[in-house]
Structure 1
Amino acid sequence: MHILFIADNFPPEGNAPATRTYEHAREWVELGHKVTVITCAPNFPEGKVFDGFKNSLYSRSTMEGIVVVRVKTFISSNEGFVLRILDFMSFMFSSFWAGVFQKEVDVVVATSPQFFTAVAGWAISAFKRKKFVFELRDIWPASITAVGAMKDSFAIKLLEKLEMFLYRRADSIVSVTNSFKKELVERGIKGEKISVVLNGVDLTKYQPVVEKNKELSEQYQLEEKFVIGYIGTHGMAHALEHVIDAAELLKANDNIRFIFAGGGAAKEKLVTLVEEKQLKNVVFIPRQPKENMPAIWSLCDVSLISLRDAALFKTVIPSKIFESMGMGLPMISAIPQGEASEVIESANAGIVCKPENGHELAQKISELRSSDALLTQYQTNSLIAAPKYDRKVQACLMLNQLKNTIDK
């Protein structure tokens, strides 16, 4: 089977969509299938092309057996509605033209969160008369209004019409959460064409460590510190300013450190906020290559998950939950009660507290720091839960869905 996958994020980008696409494609290739991924020059989240890459018209390479086709796009940082839409639309057109020239394709898959990628996938599938699978990573454009990037407007209404068009035209939809499937069914999409394949973790790379990475510990002065780690995109959806509030409340305890590893639209504001508050217990670590992430995770005693207090975020499951499990880390999650909190609480792998509440977050961190027994319990349970979300298992589930779609 030749799978043509359209995704505007792919390694060396290290965000969740890039990682999921790469790890699934790698497993499919190992199982004997051909996978071609059409993507763009790596630039997320700063909107700057990574060293060693060019925003060229068309390039073709191979990564662990995956054929990677990169196309030219208009590039912007991960902020600002108009520029991001131009970015998305340019990828839609360039990926479509690249897609129509790929030979002997059996199925076309396109992944969100933004739907212009899915438009390209649908158009390629229509041109080639092949089945179209829509991988649904986010309820977009609702997430735009949820983070306050744009108010409800005529433009949003048009995007919602496009959203429903794609749901209806897809031969199959693969949702990354059960909540997304439920919402689509409530909006009139047939449930029998929607399957759920949760995110996961590569357990060959994310494993418990005996000791923290010595070089990084020394570099960031984390030796003998109790480290609360937020690892991932610093975006508008993550309400990280409230984590800074918690850090300020705990600044008198010199044993506690907060690390923020990654980049994103909100990072500059967070750095400024920490400087204004003159906090010495907050450390920022730049965005790292994907292969360095287990070493960054090794610095953490507790993994921090944070999301805004919005109804939409009751339906999402941050991928860092599964990476935390792979590392055997306890979690403190300042998130709305929903599917993500259910994953953590059902595994008894950490504490869930109110989102956007620095006072409660600081209190829960103090409680966890003072209880070695609770830390050990959450560590053990986190590790026990990890195999359920092994990326190999999830990749096989999605592959079966692709096969079923072709056979319909």
Structure 2
Amino acid sequence: MHILFLSDNFPPEVNAPASRTFEHCREWVAAGHKVTVVTCVPNFPKGRVFAGYRNRLWQKEEMSGICVIRVWSYITANEGFARRVADYVSYMVSALAAALFVRSADVVIGTSPQFFTACAAYGIGRLKRIPFVFELRDLWPESIRVVGAMKRSLVLDRLEKLELFLYRKAALIVSVTFSFRENLAMRGIDGDKVRVVTNGLDLDRFKPRCKDQTLVERHGLAGKFVSGYIGTHGMAHRLETILEAAEILSRQPGGEKYCFLFLGDGANKEELVALAAAKRLKNILFVDSVPKEEVVKYWSLLDASIIHLKRDDLFKSVIPSKLFESMGMGIPILHGVEGESALIVERDDVGLAFQPENAEELSRRLRELCENAALWRRLSTNGLHASRRYDRRVLAAKMLQYLEDLVAGRQPKNDDL
């Protein structure tokens, strides 16, 4: 089978969509299938082309057996609604044109968050007369409204109609959460063509390891209880809550032993740095994005992983991928997201929940975790055990079976209930 995959994020970018797409495609190649990925030159999230690449009309490389075609797109930082849409649309047009020259594809997949990628995949499916699969990673454009990037308007209404059109036209929808599937069902989308393949982790990369002593010494972390946020610093994450918790702990007895690590970039990064400086917080460490092979070294520094999103009903349907990476590393989680992901944390007993945007509760939970060694060990051990259920190899094989059934004309088995 030849799988054609459209994604505007792909390694060497290190965000969740890039990692999921690469790891799935790698496993499909290992299973004996041909995979072609049409993507952009790496530039996320700063909107700057990575070293060694140029934003050319068309270029080709091979990565772990995957044929990677990189196309030109309008490049901008991960901020500003109009410029981001221009980025998305330019990729859609370029990807559609490039994919027409990919021969003998049996199925085409378009992955969100933004669905202009899915638009291109739909067009390719029609032109090549092959099944179109929509991988649903985010309820876009609703998330635009929630983060405040754009208020309710005629534009959003039109985008939502396009979103529903793509759901209806997809031969198969692969959702990363059960909540997304329920959302689609309530909006009239046929549930028989929706399957769930959650996010997961590469167990070969994300596994327990001692703290990287070079980084400990470089950043002065010896003797510190390090909690951290690793990922995109976006509008949806409201990371100001973590700064507020850091300020609270800095005023308390023993507060000097707590350190907060922020690794990554995004639309709100500069604001967060400025806010920390304005508050004169000495317990905050900001680190820009690092290459993929360096990320786990920073994960190793953490005694606790902080996961946080704005308090909104939309995010109750989200399961951040860093949840599974934390579990695989054996790092207890401080979880500030309501809904489906909170149920995982509670069911598997891998962390402590706190109300989103509640800095007081976060600071209390952090102190509780720091001062209770038995609790820390229990959560760490439970995370290691639970992470095995989210092995990316197993999840990739599950999605591959759905694709094989679809191409063979069979109804994909519904084993995700």
Q: Same fold (TM over 0.5)?
A: yes
CA distance in 2, matches of 1:114, 1:202: 24
The alignment-based identity, stated in percent, is 52
CA distance in 1, matches of 2:404, 2:166: 20
- TM-score, with length taken from structure 2: 0.97
Number of the residue aligned with 1:13: 13
- 1:404 Cα offset (Å): 1.5
Number of the residue aligned with 1:213: 212
CA distance in 2, matches of 1:75, 1:143: 21
- 1:289 Cα offset (Å): 1.0
CA distance in 2, matches of 1:322, 1:42: 24
Number of the residue aligned with 1:69: 69
Number of the residue aligned with 2:350: 349
CA distance in 1, matches of 2:76, 2:154: 23
Number of the residue aligned with 1:234: 233
CA distance in 1, matches of 2:373, 2:119: 51
1:311 paired to 2:310:
no
Query: For residue 66 of structure 1, what is the amino acid of its counterpart?
Result: I
1:372 paired to 2:380:
no
- 1:229 Cα offset (Å): 1.1
Number of the residue aligned with 1:256: 258
Query: For residue 295 of structure 1, what is the amino acid of its counterpart?
Result: K
Deviations 1:317-339 (A, max 9, x none): 00000000110110001122x00
CA distance in 2, matches of 1:190, 1:156: 23
CA distance in 2, matches of 1:386, 1:164: 34
- 1:5 Cα offset (Å): 0.1
1:49 paired to 2:54:
no
The 5-angstrom pairing of residues 373-392 of structure 1 reads 373-392=374-393
Number of the residue aligned with 1:83: 83
Helix, strand or coil at the partner of 2:236? helix
Number of the residue aligned with 2:325: 323
Deviations 1:194-253 (A, max 9, x none): 0000000000111111x2001111111111210001011110010100110000011141
Deviations 1:128-151 (A, max 9, x none): 000000000000000000111100
Query: For residue 248 of structure 1, what is the amino acid of its counterpart?
Result: E
Number of the residue aligned with 1:400: 401
CA distance in 1, matches of 2:159, 2:80: 16
- 1:187 Cα offset (Å): 0.7
Instruction: Name the Cα RMSD after superposition.
Output: 0.7
CA distance in 2, matches of 1:223, 1:405: 54
Helix, strand or coil at the partner of 1:237? coil
CA distance in 2, matches of 1:219, 1:117: 41
CA distance in 1, matches of 2:187, 2:323: 28
Query: For residue 281 of structure 1, what is the amino acid of its counterpart?
Result: N
Number of the residue aligned with 1:38: 38
Gap regions ≥5 residues in structure 2:
410-417
- 1:368 Cα offset (Å): 1.1
- 1:76 Cα offset (Å): 1.0
CA distance in 2, matches of 1:371, 1:240: 25
CA distance in 2, matches of 1:136, 1:100: 23
CA distance in 1, matches of 2:388, 2:256: 36
- 1:285 Cα offset (Å): 1.1
Displaced runs of 4 or more, over 4 A: none
Deviations 1:283-315 (A, max 9, x none): 011101111111110000001100000110000
Deviations 1:38-95 (A, max 9, x none): 0001111111111111100000000010000000000111111111111000000000
Query: For residue 169 of structure 2, what is the amino acid of its counterpart?
Result: R
CA distance in 1, matches of 2:155, 2:330: 44
1:149 paired to 2:144:
no
Number of the residue aligned with 1:359: 360
Helix, strand or coil at the partner of 1:174? strand
CA distance in 2, matches of 1:407, 1:142: 34
Helix, strand or coil at the partner of 2:139? coil
Number of the residue aligned with 1:243: 242
Query: For residue 275 of structure 2, what is the amino acid of its counterpart?
Result: L
1:136 paired to 2:136:
yes
CA distance in 2, matches of 1:98, 1:89: 14
CA distance in 2, matches of 1:345, 1:53: 43
- 1:2 Cα offset (Å): 0.5
- TM-score, with length taken from structure 1: 0.99
- 1:172 Cα offset (Å): 0.3
